[in-house]
């Protein structure tokens, strides 16, 4: 019985993280086809905008590693959760930052 429960846990992890990845990829594809990707006037702001999704994934992995030290989750099972949640938060940060106006001093 415990092996069946472990298989369900693994499949649930794969389905949730894959669902997050498919959602982000399809939303970005839709924005690209529509021509509505975020554009910033300064090169530094555009580089930050383009890097928000990968930064979100890296921060998610770091948080997952730190949580695995404190909580009783194995490192191998919590890193995909961190990357998936970081991908989602990175996408939301991309959406918010792309709509912000740039302030010129």
Q: Could you read off the pLDDT of 11-57 as tens digits, one per residue?
A: 898 999 999 999 999 999 999 999 888 888 889 989 999 999 999 99
Residue 77 has a pLDDT of 82
In a domain, 105, yes or no: no
Q: How do residues 88-103 score in pLDDT, each as one tens digit?
A: 999 999 999 998 876 6
In a domain, 71, yes or no: yes
Residues 6+ apart with CB under 8 A from 90: 52, 53, 54, 55, 56, 57, 60
In a domain, 80, yes or no: yes
Residue 105 has a pLDDT of 62
In a domain, 13, yes or no: yes
In a domain, 22, yes or no: yes
In 3-state terms the chain splits into helix, strand, coil percentages (rounded to 5) of: 80, 0, 20
Which residue range is the domain that position 50 belongs to?
2-99
How many residues are there in the chain? 105
In a domain, 62, yes or no: yes
The pTM (predicted TM-score) of the whole model is 0.85
> Tokens at residue 102, please?
């740039």
Distance CA 61, CA 47 (A): 21
> Is 52:97 a contact under the CB 8 Å cutoff?
yes
In a domain, 6, yes or no: yes
> Tokens at residue 105, please?
């001093």
Q: What total number of domains does the chain contain? A: 1
In a domain, 16, yes or no: yes
* E strand intervals along the chain: none
């Amino acid at each position: 019985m415990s092996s069946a429960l472990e298989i369900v846990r693994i499949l649930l992890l794969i389905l949730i993280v894959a669902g997050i990845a498919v959602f982000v990829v399809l939303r970005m594809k839709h924005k690209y086809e529509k021509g509505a990707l975020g554009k910033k006037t300064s090169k530094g702001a555009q580089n930050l905008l383009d890097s928000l999704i990968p930064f979100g994934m890296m921060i998610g992995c770091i948080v997952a590693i730190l949580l695995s030290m404190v909580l009783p989750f194995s490192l191998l099972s919590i890193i995909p959760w961190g990357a998936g949640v970081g991908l989602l938060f990175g996408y939301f940060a991309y959406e918010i930052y792309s709509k912000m106006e740039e302030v010129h001093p």
